[in-house]
Structure 1
Amino acid sequence: MASAASGKGALAGGRVVYIAMLAPALCLLFLTIVPFLDGVYTSLTNEKLYAGVTRFVGFANYLKLAQNPTFWIALGNTLLYAGLATLIQIPLGLAVALLLDVPSKVQWFFRSTIALPLLIPPVVAGLMWKTMMQPQSGVLNWLLAQVGLPPFAWLSDPSTALVSIVLIDTWLFMPLAAIILLAGLQSISGEVLEAARIDGANAWQTIRHIKLQALKPYIVLVAMFRIPDALKSLEIIYATTRGGPLNATRTLHVMAYEEAYRWSSLGRAMAIVFILWVLSYIFSAILLTLWRKEETRFHGR
């Protein structure tokens, strides 16, 4: 009897602990889902920032966006921005990670300083680089003049503005890729590297056949962080070009910001944000599946 009572008491105590741990999770889930659903509903209305009357309009906001040429320009810029940022930052991050993995007396210094750009807010970074990219007084064109090159229209030329912003994004977020990939390099067993060296593998063969193979899950992880983040980039773009010149850097997030705070159209702004969410969800789901596949292949589980 005492044993049975003790078992019931332990079971009841376990239920209390379970409920106590489940309650915060359910609360967090509720606080996440409710604003999301409210945003989806807002995208189906004609809600204005300063108007009191809101009317349900169904998919009218989405249809108007589909008929707006600026939306398709912004969509193309968004995908191009995210693609360029990821394709540039992963190889650069890998190169930096490989350099930081080489033992040296000053290794600790470079590993500490590589993360400094991540401490700068994107708006501040955008304003700083905008000053350096000024056509007449910017330090970048001054450096070009020192080596006999003509000045470059960084942010004022529609053909170069988006690439210039991608370079700012790369300076700001490439260290994140380097840190993640460096962590992947540090996880490679020293015994495997030593065995490769004994077998006669040179540095390039070790990188190609061992390190890059081990880094595949980490490369996918970097893409899984950077692509959704680049898709919703706003601060750098708005601090430098505000979507110009001639819509050359207008992305979906910039367009949503202006719809909400310039034209007071919350319904249309939320429609754009929901499209951004769908894009982020699709890319994240694809990359998560690929990451799990690479993890299973490499670790065998």
Structure 2
Amino acid sequence: MARITAQADKTWMSKAAFYAMLAPALILLMSTTYPFLSGIYTSLTNQKLYIPASKFVGLNNYINLFETPLFWNGLANTLIYAGAALAIQLPLGLAFAILLDVPGRLQSFFRSAVVLPLLVPPVVAGLIWKTMMHPQSGVLNWLLAQIGIEPLSWLTSPSTAMMSIILIDTWLFTPLATIILLAGLQSVSGEVVEAARIDGANAWQVIRYVKLPLLAPYLLLVALFRVSDSLKSLEIIYSTTKGGPLDATRTLHVMAYEEAYRWSSLGRAMTIVFVLWLVCYTISGALLAFWQKQEAKNRGL
């Protein structure tokens, strides 16, 4: 009888421990799932920001959105911005990481200095660069004038505005790619590198054939971080151009922000946000699928 009681107590304690550990996971799941589902429902209504009452309109918000030329312009701008940011920052981050991995007297100084842009909030960075890019009084045009180049309308011309905010984004977030890739380089075993050098590999061959293949997970991590961040970028764009000039930098996130806080249309704003989430989810899923395919290929599966 005592044995049965002890087993029952042990079973009860095991279940209690299980539910005690499960509870935080369930709370976290509900804290993310409920807002997500609530946002999807909001996108199916005509809810306004300052009016509690709303009417269910079904897919009308999505139909109206897809019929709007501004949406397709915003989608194109979003993809261009994210694609260009990744295409520039990944190689730059890798190049800086390789340089910072080389031992030297100033190595610790440059490793500390490279993180400084990350300490600047994106809104502040946008305002600083907006001042530097001013057509008349900006320091960038002054520097161009010193070498005989005509001044540029950095943020005020449709032809250069997108390039300008990508430049700001590159200055601000390339250090993130550098730090992640530098950590990847530092994780490469010294024994592997030494074995390659004994086999006659020079410094470039060590990087090309030893370190870079081992950096693949870190490159994927940088790609996922930067794609997801760039797709929903708002602070830099809104603090510099507010989506202009002539909608040249109006991305989906800017459109969603203006629908919610300028036009007070939460329903339409959540519609744009959900479409943006689908774009981000699709691109991230494609990157992960490509990675898994490459891993299976490398294992010979």
Whether the TM-score (by the shorter chain) exceeds 0.5 is yes
**Structure 2 CA distance for partners of 1:150 and 1:176, relative to 1, 3 Å:** same
1:86 counterpart SS class: helix
**Structure 2 CA distance for partners of 1:298 and 1:122, relative to 1, 3 Å:** farther
1:124-163 pair list within 5 angstroms? 124-163=124-163
**Structure 2 CA distance for partners of 1:299 and 1:19, relative to 1, 3 Å:** farther
Report the Cα distance in structure 1 between the residues aligned to 2:105 and 2:6, rounded to whole angstroms.
61
1:40-79 pair list within 5 angstroms? 40-79=40-79
**Structure 2 CA distance for partners of 1:131 and 1:300, relative to 1, 3 Å:** farther
Report the Cα distance in structure 2 between the residues aligned to 1:14 and 1:99, rounded to whole angstroms.
53
Count matched residues. Answer: 301
**Structure 2 CA distance for partners of 1:97 and 1:298, relative to 1, 3 Å:** farther
Provide Cα deviations, 1:107-139, integer angstroms capped at 9, x if missing partner. Answer: 222112211111111101100100001111111
Name 2:28's counterpart in structure 1.
28
Name 2:172's counterpart in structure 1.
172
Q: TM-score scaled by structure 1?
A: 0.94
Report the Cα distance in structure 2 between the residues aligned to 1:249 and 1:287, rounded to whole angstroms.
25
Task: Give the alignment's Cα RMSD to 1 decimal.
Answer: 1.9
Shift of 1:289: 3.1
**Structure 2 CA distance for partners of 1:107 and 1:188, relative to 1, 3 Å:** same
Report the Cα distance in structure 2 between the residues aligned to 1:39 and 1:103, rounded to whole angstroms.
51
Name 1:286's counterpart in structure 2.
286
Are 1:184 and 1:218, in contact at CA under 8 Å, matched by a contact in 2? yes
Report the Cα distance in structure 2 between the residues aligned to 1:298 and 1:223, rounded to whole angstroms.
20
Name 1:185's counterpart in structure 2.
185
Which of 128-137 and 3-12 deviates more? 3-12
Shift of 1:174: 0.6
Are 1:216 and 1:294, in contact at CA under 8 Å, matched by a contact in 2? no
Name 1:103's counterpart in structure 2.
103
Shift of 1:21: 1.2
Are 1:217 and 1:295, in contact at CA under 8 Å, matched by a contact in 2? no
Shift of 1:51: 2.9
Shift of 1:73: 0.4
Report the Cα distance in structure 2 between the residues aligned to 1:131 and 1:104, rounded to whole angstroms.
36
Shift of 1:53: 3.2
Shift of 1:209: 1.0
1:245 counterpart SS class: coil
Identity of aligned residues (%): 65
2:215 counterpart SS class: helix
1:53 counterpart SS class: coil
Name 2:241's counterpart in structure 1.
241
Shift of 1:286: 2.0
1:199-218 pair list within 5 angstroms? 199-218=199-218
Which of 5-14 and 129-138 deviates more? 5-14
Provide Cα deviations, 1:202-227, integer angstroms capped at 9, x if missing partner. Answer: 22211111111111111111111110
1:137 counterpart SS class: coil
Report the Cα distance in structure 2 between the residues aligned to 1:264 and 1:205, rounded to whole angstroms.
58
Q: Is structure 2 residue 231 aligned with structure 1 residue 228? A: no
Report the Cα distance in structure 2 between the residues aligned to 1:129 and 1:92, rounded to whole angstroms.
20
Report the Cα distance in structure 1 between the residues aligned to 2:211 and 2:106, rounded to whole angstroms.
23
Structure 1: state its 5+ residue gaps.
none
**Structure 2 CA distance for partners of 1:136 and 1:277, relative to 1, 3 Å:** same
Give the residue type in structure 2 aligned to 1:254. V
Report the Cα distance in structure 2 between the residues aligned to 1:79 and 1:32, rounded to whole angstroms.
26
Are 1:220 and 1:290, in contact at CA under 8 Å, matched by a contact in 2? no
Give the residue type in structure 2 aligned to 1:211. K
